[in-house]
Amino acid sequence: MSDAPLTVVLDLPRPYLLFVGDADDTTFLKTGLGLRDWAPDLCVAEHKCDGARATLGLPLMDPRQAYAAGARSVVIAAASIGGRIRPAWIPCLVEALEAGLDIISGAHDRLSADPRLRSAADALGRRLIDVRTPPPGLPIATGRRRSGKRLLTVGTDCALGKKYTALALTGAFRARGLAVDFRATGQTGIMIAGSGIPIDSVVSDFVAGAAEALSPDAAPNHWDVIEGQGSVFHPSYAGVSLGLMHGSQPDMLVLCHAHGRELIVGLDGYPLPSIEEAVALSLRLARLTNPDVRCAGVSLNTAGLSDEDATALIARRIDEWGLPVADPMRPSPHFDRLVEACIG
């Protein structure tokens, strides 16, 4: 296993109470869903504001009950537009501090910026932990070729499975006896892995350098599976995606797409590219730092479909796109073939 000296390694108080805030549906519970699905042993329960309708399907506990059940921190599992900590959440978070829990946040807002949280934490001796804080001293990218092998998940849009795909591929590589590390680039991935770099919080000049630091020189047969962020087709986040791509120098891309999605989420008038266009442009951009990069196939998010319908859809897309296609959340021979295309 390789070590990235500039990667943020966090000493997070575990296990977690997941705070879903005042969310009415799971659209804004990306962090909570990721922790529930990939680190279930770390999730004691969920907590919510009065009237919130969204649920992660975990036991519902207040902070004192969760502390008694073993929780040692509350994680802000909900997200708001712009990564803000909503004022309505503050009383619930103060209650968690009073119950003996530290607070972990992946929001852009800093926990200590709220005087009520800062005052309560200081008085009670609790920790306010902001995961979305990049390490100091990140370098400018050099473009130097590095030893080892790298896979990067890329997408036609945001929030369609790049993290889940990277985690599933990491598990599949490991099950085949390969040396592999999952390299987290977002707050949820960092909470799952315990280390990483929050790439969307890095000053733009240093994004590619951060990606280089995240996946340093490694043994020739060692794989870094790097969690993608955003999309080069997204008007808001293409810059983050491109810097991550150039610094990662991927040998292999896996394109992530959500079945049925036609428009960029949250923006009007921006259609998603075709798969052919997405593969072609992603490869063209990635070739700046690795001329030999290939696309192994497509990770297709088929959430909402029955197993039978998903299997039939995947078979059609394989014929249509001429690439391995699979939903990593549905174990199948299709996923095995995607894995083999990645490592072959």
Going from N- to C-terminal start, the domains of the chain cover 8-130, 149-343
Which of 11-20, 75-84, 285-294 has the lowest average pLDDT?
75-84
Q: Could you give the count of Cα atoms lying within 13 Å of 63 in the half-sphere of its Cβ?
A: 21
Q: Could you read off the pLDDT of 215-266 as tens digits, one per residue?
A: 999 999 999 999 999 999 999 999 999 999 999 999 999 999 999 999 998 8
Residue position matching structure tokens 């700046």: 288
Cα(23)–Cα(297) distance, rounded to whole angstroms? 34
pLDDT at 74 over 90: yes
pLDDT category, 344, cuts 50, 70, 90? confident
Of the candidates 39, 106, 99, the one whose C-alpha atom is nearest the C-alpha of residue 72 is 99
pLDDT category, 10, cuts 50, 70, 90? confident
Q: Could you read off the pLDDT of 135-171 as tens digits, one per residue?
A: 999 999 999 999 999 999 999 999 999 999 999 999 9
Cα(141)–Cα(135) distance, rounded to whole angstroms? 15
Whether the CB-CB separation of 342 and 314 falls below 8 Å is answered with no
CATH domain 149-343 topology: Rossmann fold (3.40.50)
Q: How far apart are the first and last CA of the chain?
A: 21
Q: For residue 69, what pLDDT is reported?
A: 98
**Is 159 or 117 the better-scoring residue by pLDDT?**
117
Which CA distances in Å does 61 have to 38, 83, 188?
21, 25, 22
Report helix angle 207-214 to 238-248, nearest 10: 40
**Rounded percentage of the chain residues whose pLDDT exceeds 90:** 91
pLDDT at 2 over 60: no
Q: Locate all alpha helices (DSSP H) within the chain, ordered by sequence.
A: 30-38, 63-68, 90-98, 115-124, 162-175, 187-193, 207-214, 238-248, 275-286, 307-321, 333-343
Q: Could you read off the pLDDT of 308-323 as tens digits, one per residue?
A: 999 999 999 999 999 9
Q: Do domains 8-130 and 149-343 have the same CATH topology?
A: yes
What is the average pLDDT across 298-312? 97
Which of 18-32, 96-110, 215-229, 238-252 has the lowest average pLDDT?
18-32
Q: For residue 8, what pLDDT is reported?
A: 67
Cα(321)–Cα(252) distance, rounded to whole angstroms? 17
Whether the CB-CB separation of 286 and 307 falls below 8 Å is answered with no
Q: For residue 3, what pLDDT is reported?
A: 45
Arithmetic mean of pLDDT over the chain:
95
Q: For residue 320, what pLDDT is reported?
A: 98
Q: Could you read off the pLDDT of 163-197 as tens digits, one per residue?
A: 999 999 999 999 999 999 999 999 999 999 989 99
Q: For residue 4, what pLDDT is reported?
A: 44
The CATH architecture assigned to 8-130 reads 3-Layer(aba) Sandwich (3.40)
